[in-house]
Structure 1
Amino acid sequence: MTQASPRLTLPFLQPAQAQKHVTHNEALRLLDTLVQLTLASIGTTTPPSTPANGEAHAIGASASGDWAGHDGEVATWFDAAWYFQTPKSGWIGTVVGGTDIYIHDGSDWALATASVDLDNVAGVGINTTSDGTNRLAVQSPATLLTHEGSGHQLKINKAGVSDTASLLFQTNWSGRAEMGIAGNDSFSIKVSGDGSSWDEVLKVGPGEGVVTTANMVGTVANPAGPGDAVFETGSGTNGSFTKLADGTLNCQISEFQTASGAATTWTLPEPFASASYSVTASILGSTPGVATISAQSATSVDIESFDLIGDDTVAPDVNLIAIGRWF
């Protein structure tokens, strides 16, 4: 019959053995140390001066004092004496006051590292819970992405042109701003006041480098407010106009037909603030002539044509430009 167990070296009771309680108590002492092994230290080489009963240490190299000659063993203080046990590969222990787990590799104690395959996990939640849509979820004051020696890119990829690849900014889970390529391949910035209705404030077409803003051309106002444009344009039978947010108004018409022997009224395509604006008339055709301006008001102006000797029985076409202010 063998003298000890193969794994923990616990002493066996032998046939016809006297003083069986000694062997039994020795086995219990070993079990008390090795089951749920808790170490006061790992790698210590000098015994503590006042160890507690049951206190255990994993001895380091070149131990001294009562531990001399027991390098690498587990020393346990029991009944005013040190008892030593040689650890085997696979033994597991922890250190008092810590949360780390150590495994003996046959020669030394090593910190256990989890062997977990992190590829193709269903989801990762950091301080929160991930779900089927938000498979990576982070709840923290900030998220840091940094370089590994040079640059760093954050890639957001979509499957097709009609899909969305964007950054969405929310207030209490309601969308307020979005930037990216949404529904097409043009980069755009959108804003919303309620998370449902969105306004596109800037758009850049792919391969064009052309920037389009929602309020560059539109309706201008005085005083200007949110959504009002920088330019306003319009056209009709009375010509066209360009209206600027700073108050400038430009009205023009091409090939305006004058009348022989009388003035012709040009009704402006957009009214000025007053009759104080300038008008330029250019006579078309090869025959020299003169065009005069009269009866000027905020909404119209009379145009009359003459030849070079003052005869008004001519009727050339003229190009007209009026510049002034709309407020």
Structure 2
Amino acid sequence: MSDDLSARLGLPYLAAGQLQKHVTLNEALTRLDALVQARAVSRSTAAQPASPADGALYILPASPTGAVWASRAAGDLMRFEAGAWAAIAVPDGALVWIADEDVFVVRDGVSWVALGQRLGAVQGLTRLGLNTTADATNPFAARINKALWTAINAGDGGDGDLRMTFNKEAAADVLSLLFQSNWGGRAELGLIGDDDLTLKVSADGSTWRTAMSVDRSTGAAAFPTGCGRVETTVLTSGATWTVPAWARRIEAVVVGGGGGGG
């Protein structure tokens, strides 16, 4: 450790009998003001601003321009104060909030990396809300339009497979996927109250009908309400009818109009 500077942040020490101690103290306070709860305006602005706010911080991108910035390197943390620019030495691990991106970046050697890219593992979370708020009923909640799950290729250290495992405690419990429309249940697929695969449907979210059940032991599928589509059409004399594309069989019942003769 230097006798003149602190080990981590490089803050200048006051020396015994030192003259103009306020100069050294002010230098240390300036560094603290830049590094503690640091907030940078941007890390993509390449042109040196003409009228920055006092105390403004910028992380330089590649090829910066301007009277002062042009001589600096990409990744430098620049601070504007009292009409002048100064480069702030930044220790590894320092966090800076990037205002125009709403993201934290962390100092990694000579570069800056988004904090999320450095979180190799997040353990022990009790709730996680993605673009929404999770609660005790739904400890994981996501409000999104698309989601992607993809396997790790063999060339990247995986085996190319992707298998999602869902588990319930006992046969009498429910393990299912519930499909809703405007928050009303319309279909449910899974192990619903037993260990057979069952598909249920509902028109109103309260009355459910079993459309299909697959026996876990035999693999036999049962369709309690039938597996064929039936449609009844009443035609009057002279009417025409087009056979639907889905129809496999047609049954016709002809009813005579009757009538008497004299």
Residue 70 (str. 1) matches residue 77 (str. 2): no
Query: How far is 1:210 from its partner?
Result: 7.5
Q: 1:93 aligns with which of 92, 96, 118?
A: 96
CA contact (8 A) 1:192 1:199 kept: no
Q: Return the alpha-carbon distance in structure 2 between the equivalents of residues 69 and 19 of structure 1.
A: 31
Aligned match of 1:109: 112
Partner deviation per Cα, 1:153-192 (whole Å, 9 max, x = no partner): 9887889988876655679988776566765758665668
Partner deviation per Cα, 1:173-221 (whole Å, 9 max, x = no partner): 887765667657586656688947x6556667766678664699xxxxx
Aligned match of 2:238: none
Q: 1:98 to 1:15 in 2, by over 3 A?
A: same
Partner deviation per Cα, 1:48-98 (whole Å, 9 max, x = no partner): 112222122223445442234332432222212222222221121112344
Q: 1:199 to 1:214 in 2, by over 3 A?
A: farther
Q: Return the alpha-carbon distance in structure 2 between the equivalents of residues 98 and 42 of structure 1.
A: 9
Bigger Cα displacement from structure 2, 187-196 vs 70-79: 187-196
Counterpart of 1:115, as a letter, is L
Higher-strand-fraction structure: 1
TM-score normalized by the length of structure 1: 0.47
SS in 1 for 2:17: coil
Aligned match of 1:35: 36
Counterpart of 2:81, as a letter, is F
Q: Return the alpha-carbon distance in structure 1 between the equivalents of residues 184 and 146 of structure 2.
A: 21
Structure showing greater Rg: 1
CA contact (8 A) 1:75 1:84 kept: yes
CA contact (8 A) 1:38 1:93 kept: yes
Q: Return the alpha-carbon distance in structure 1 between the equivalents of residues 10 and 149 of structure 2.
A: 53
Partner deviation per Cα, 1:226-276 (whole Å, 9 max, x = no partner): xxxxxxxxxxxxxxxxxxx9779xxxxxxxxxxxxxxxxxxxxxxxxxxxx
Bigger Cα displacement from structure 2, 45-54 vs 152-161: 152-161
Higher-helix-fraction structure: 2
Query: How far is 1:105 from its partner?
Result: 0.9
Query: How far is 1:122 from its partner?
Result: 6.3
CA contact (8 A) 2:106 2:115 kept: yes
TM-score normalized by the length of structure 2: 0.56
Query: How far is 1:8 from its partner?
Result: 2.1
Counterpart of 1:75, as a letter, is M
Aligned match of 2:50: 49
Q: Return the alpha-carbon distance in structure 1 between the equivalents of residues 18 and 204 of structure 2.
A: 90
CA contact (8 A) 1:37 1:93 kept: yes
Q: Return the alpha-carbon distance in structure 2 between the equivalents of residues 129 and 175 of structure 1.
A: 20
CA contact (8 A) 2:187 2:199 kept: no
Pairing of 1:165-244 with structure 2 (within 5 A): 183=194, 185=196, 195=206, 213=225
Q: 1:16 to 1:101 in 2, by over 3 A?
A: same
Q: Return the alpha-carbon distance in structure 2 between the equivalents of residues 98 and 11 of structure 1.
A: 33
Bigger Cα displacement from structure 2, 81-90 vs 102-111: 81-90
SS in 2 for 1:9: coil
Q: 1:84 aligns with which of 74, 83, 87?
A: 87
Q: 1:168 to 1:57 in 2, by over 3 A?
A: closer
Q: Return the alpha-carbon distance in structure 2 between the equivalents of residues 214 and 204 of structure 1.
A: 14
CA contact (8 A) 2:196 2:214 kept: no
Query: How far is 1:131 from its partner?
Result: 5.5
SS in 2 for 1:30: helix
> In angstroms, what is the RMSD of aligned CA positions?
5.0
CA contact (8 A) 1:47 1:67 kept: yes
Q: Return the alpha-carbon distance in structure 1 between the equivalents of residues 174 and 63 of structure 2.
A: 66
SS in 2 for 1:109: strand
Tell me, which stretches of 5 or more residues in structure 2 are unaligned? Answer: 152-161, 229-250, 255-262
Q: 1:147 to 1:70 in 2, by over 3 A?
A: closer
Counterpart of 1:56, as a letter, is L
Q: 1:131 to 1:214 in 2, by over 3 A?
A: farther
Q: 1:247 to 1:163 in 2, by over 3 A?
A: farther
Percent identity over the alignment? 29
Counterpart of 2:69, as a letter, is W
Q: 1:116 to 1:209 in 2, by over 3 A?
A: same
